[in-house]
Structure 1
Amino acid sequence: MNYQESREYIDRVTREIPSVLGLDHMREMMKRLGNPQDDLKYVHVAGTNGKGSVIAFLYSVLSEAGYRVGRYVSPTLYSYRGRMEISGKRISRDSFAAYMTQVADVIAAMTEDGYPHPTAFEIETAVAFLFFRNENCDLVLLEVGMGGNLDATNIIKNTMLSVLVSISMDHMSFLGNTLGEIAEKKAGIIKENSHVVTSLQKKEAMDVICSQCEKCHAECVVADPGKAQVLAESCLGQTLLYEGEKYEIPLAGVYQKENAVVALNALKVLDTLGFASTPEQKKAGMKHTVWNGRFTVLCTEPLFVVDGAHNPAAADMMAASIEHYFKGKRLIYIMGVFGDKDYRSVVAKTVPYADKILTIQTPNNERALPAAKLAETVKEFHKDVQARESIEQAVETAFRLAHKEDVILAFGSLSFIGEMTDLVEKEKKREGKQK
């Protein structure tokens, strides 16, 4: 397959093969591929909100320290291939096509032998393992897709460090109906005699994590964001004081203090495991971290912010950031969500701050909630809402409605933020607006 054919292949699998949790098919596929994942070392990251941000901090610092670091995350905003990259360089089209062909050949043999067809995420994860192994990565930062214990990524054995970010209610149909049940699934990435860093969790989740660590004889470090002090902040970034050191981070949002503290604790543990970084490298890496789509400013007149608040916990965090940065400002929302999320709670938590709301349907995804249906839900909480037929129409409408001192906030599924960013850039050029 060439690159276009390989993308068409994975898109077809995404449409036709439903998501499942379980490792049996993954084990069979990886065995036939020679188990490349066993030749790598990992930092494995699970949780509900903050996985990508913590990985972004670690990726930047460890790359600054000179390690050949692989990163596997999803979804990505601007490039499909950005979900697997090494030291700032995403997988090439030719390499992706070659690995995808190798995996597809194995899958054809598997199905001929009576095995079920692997899911799109399992296939992408297999491609990532081949890529990272063949490129001789020193360490791979691996994001869990869903849950933990039965996620395709949990086939790995050589976990140097397990990281658990904030855990809340999400994917209940797959993971459970209580915080304890969900935490149990996510804590399933903890390996025997390993090291763990966890965010300071709610008691129900923390009890489960501590129990799992004790069961696995794993050393656990709890990262308490309350021990960090914000010295300076704006919607463009913040400066933290933590354990006597100042760290500048370019990521805004009140929740990024917690993610930064988790990352700094993870780096401290990695210092003892053969992946040391100096204080200067930590500061430089934190300062140069790039992780777009999380309370990211795209334009300043009017202020245009995008955020991936797609579940109730993320909505709480976004609401706290609105209170913190934009109190008294007139806000115009652009919202787009997946229908299988608890979007009603997201709406209820966020719309009280908005003056006007525009709803959209996230493109090219069967999980997307129609704009009109989202607008109906919003109307239960807010009278001024309009459904727009496209993202482009929503962006044009928002700019037309906004004055330069207002704030446009686009949020919901991360799947539309890349297109949103491109449209805002076009609007800035057309109107002569500035970042």
Structure 2
Amino acid sequence: MTAVASARPPRRARHRRKLAPTNQLPTHLATYAEATLWLQEHYNLEQHLGGSAAEPPSLQRMHALMGMLGNPQREIPAIHVTGTNGKGSTSRMLVGLIAATGLDVGSYTSPHIDTVNDRIMIANQAIDDVSFTQALSEIAEVEPWVIEATGERPSYFEVMCAAAYNWFAASAVDVNVIEVGMGGKWDATNVIDAEVAVITNIGPDHMEIIGPTLTDVAEEKSGIISAQSHVINGETSEQLAEIIAGKQHRDIWHRHQHFDVLENRLAVGGRLVDFVTPFGRHEEVFLPVNGAYQAQNAATAVAAAEAFFGRQLDTAVISEAFHQLELPARFEIVQREPMIIIDGAHNPAAASVVAETLFEDFATNEPPVLVIGANKPRDPLEFFNALRGPQFSRVIATAADWPRAIPADELGQTLKNSGAQVEVSPTVPEAIDQAIQLAGDGGTILVAGSLYVASEARSQLLGTSR
């Protein structure tokens, strides 16, 4: 097992390809407002998932864009994270673990919870508006040549991903933690040969794009593995694990076989957990987050960090990293009277573990109130049943301000067919206000169904969005 982390590199000298003249003038972005408006002009797949117009998968534009920038993504060792659920939490944990050793860590994630800046972070802190504007401006400057080379404009996600890779290289971070947007093989992030490739799990999500079977999903997600990758596999299905292991790799660790959670106990304010990896045990590590399932994400993150360094991390370092852990919109308690919990769960598997945490770890005499929104093309009733919908005292169907949101009245009618007591509130802020009135000071409210609903709820209750 060879360590891949190294001493801090010098600040990168720019090696951008010398570009021939083009008929299109480069765009100069001078302000944050100009940068965000320019970004919104690009096609955003996140707004159109499940639609009829789907282009064939290709990394042509992304490779062209990165080539114009001098391929900055190749200059920094990377950990690439994919999986149906838990990849966002695992990525944030990984950043904290590596940062606790004294290294600077860049991370790219999607979608954003509060502001678009959140997609590009250093040490789990979003870059500021000035930095964001500069990062996008450098992409805007080379975009005409990408269009000339490929005949197409880069997408929203490609622009953001390229901006992140370019910014991290210019900032001379030591390590990149890169979260896949969707799938793996054809995801725009997949222009790196990651030293560590993490697959948290394989489940039935986005099947219309990366399915239709779990075997297809496993093939797609394992596309992030390269010959130099140490694979951390969290999927326990033997059939799917064989697909992952079948990709050419440097080394591979499997959950239950090489790394695992040994003890997972409820504690005040979180969990008390014991882990094991091929390097040894870590005992009584406190996780300041809710949900037994987060211990599995933490075990995956610890295994990935130790694979990256090629050695065991000191348990004190792990404890220090997790002491500062924050997971926005992951069973996040944002208010106490009434207790309001926000979770971005949006598929049945995620709904199931949220329900387990709510009804077992946070059980109360009075049933909670649910505020729920959902996006097309998902089946909201399947999600609702996994969330134990009929156990809520009242259900408020709502819709985020998002193109794929299922209209609140349509969602409400669907959920009424389940036998639940359902009310309809057209917007998330109105739904939150209504839920607070119904719950009273001593009640509990869960907000779930999509990250976009979670984002709007956090904006109202915490003032986080702009």
Structure 2 length as normaliser, TM-score?
0.85
Deviations 1:153-177 (A, max 9, x none): 11113x1100110210011111011
Partner residue in 1 for 2:367: 330
**Unmatched tracts of structure 2, length 5 or more:** 1-28, 49-53, 276-280
Whether 2:444 is the aligned partner of 1:415: answer: no
Whether 2:9 is the aligned partner of 1:3: answer: no
Partner residue in 2 for 1:430: none
Whether 2:262 is the aligned partner of 1:218: answer: no
Q: CA deviation at 1:84?
A: 0.7
Partner residue in 2 for 1:402: 439
The CA RMSD measured in Å over matched residues stands at 2.0
Moved more, 18-27 or 72-81: 18-27
Q: CA deviation at 1:181?
A: 0.9
Partner residue in 1 for 2:296: 258
**Unmatched tracts of structure 1, length 5 or more:** 427-435
- Contact residue 184 and residue 208 of structure 1 kept, 8 A: yes
Q: CA deviation at 1:277?
A: 4.2
Deviations 1:98-132 (A, max 9, x none): 23222123222332455222111011001001100
**CA distance 1:425–1:132, shift in 2 (3 Å):** closer
Partners of 2:260 and 2:78 in 1: CA distance = 28
Partners of 2:37 and 2:390 in 1: CA distance = 42
Moved more, 325-334 or 143-152: 325-334
Q: CA deviation at 1:425?
A: 4.4
- Contact residue 399 and residue 405 of structure 2 kept, 8 A: yes
In structure 2, what residue type is equivalent to 1:340? P
- Contact residue 146 and residue 152 of structure 2 kept, 8 A: yes
Structure 1 length as normaliser, TM-score?
0.91
Q: CA deviation at 1:254?
A: 2.3
- Contact residue 25 and residue 116 of structure 1 kept, 8 A: yes
Partners of 2:274 and 2:135 in 1: CA distance = 44
Moved more, 222-231 or 30-39: 222-231
Deviations 1:54-94 (A, max 9, x none): 11111112112110100111122222201111124422322
- Contact residue 145 and residue 153 of structure 1 kept, 8 A: yes
- Contact residue 312 and residue 342 of structure 1 kept, 8 A: no
Q: How does 1:98-247 map to 2 (within 5 A)?
A: 98-113=134-149, 115-157=151-193, 159-212=194-247, 216-224=248-256, 227-233=261-267, 236-242=269-275, 243-247=281-285
SS of 2:106's equivalent? strand
Whether 2:408 is the aligned partner of 1:379: answer: no
In structure 1, what residue type is equivalent to 2:96? S
- Contact residue 42 and residue 142 of structure 1 kept, 8 A: yes
**CA distance 1:203–1:375, shift in 2 (3 Å):** farther
Partners of 1:303 and 1:84 in 2: CA distance = 31
Structure 1 counterpart of 2:385, from 348, 351, 358: 348
Moved more, 325-334 or 134-143: 325-334
- Contact residue 358 and residue 388 of structure 1 kept, 8 A: yes
Partner residue in 1 for 2:10: none
**CA distance 1:349–1:79, shift in 2 (3 Å):** same
Deviations 1:16-69 (A, max 9, x none): 996753211111111112111111110000001000111111111211211010
- Contact residue 165 and residue 259 of structure 1 kept, 8 A: yes
Partners of 2:357 and 2:292 in 1: CA distance = 6
- Residue identity (%): 28
Q: CA deviation at 1:229?
A: 0.9
SS of 1:96's equivalent? helix
In structure 2, what residue type is equivalent to 1:256? Q
SS of 1:229's equivalent? strand
Moved more, 343-352 or 221-230: 221-230
Q: CA deviation at 1:331?
A: 1.2
Q: CA deviation at 1:220?
A: 0.9
Q: CA deviation at 1:140?
A: 0.4
- Contact residue 390 and residue 420 of structure 2 kept, 8 A: no
SS of 2:189's equivalent? helix
Whether 2:94 is the aligned partner of 1:62: answer: no
Partners of 2:141 and 2:70 in 1: CA distance = 14
Partners of 1:425 and 1:192 in 2: CA distance = 44
SS of 2:208's equivalent? helix
Partners of 2:431 and 2:74 in 1: CA distance = 47
**CA distance 1:114–1:182, shift in 2 (3 Å):** closer
Partners of 1:321 and 1:232 in 2: CA distance = 10
Q: Which has the larger helix fraction?
A: 1
**CA distance 1:223–1:31, shift in 2 (3 Å):** same
**CA distance 1:392–1:160, shift in 2 (3 Å):** same
Partner residue in 2 for 1:92: 128
Structure 1 counterpart of 2:286, from 222, 226, 248: 248
Deviations 1:270-319 (A, max 9, x none): 2317xx74321111102221111101111222221111110121112112
Structure 1 counterpart of 2:336, from 292, 300, 303: 300
Moved more, 263-272 or 25-34: 263-272
In structure 2, what residue type is equivalent to 1:247? V
In structure 2, what residue type is equivalent to 1:120? Y
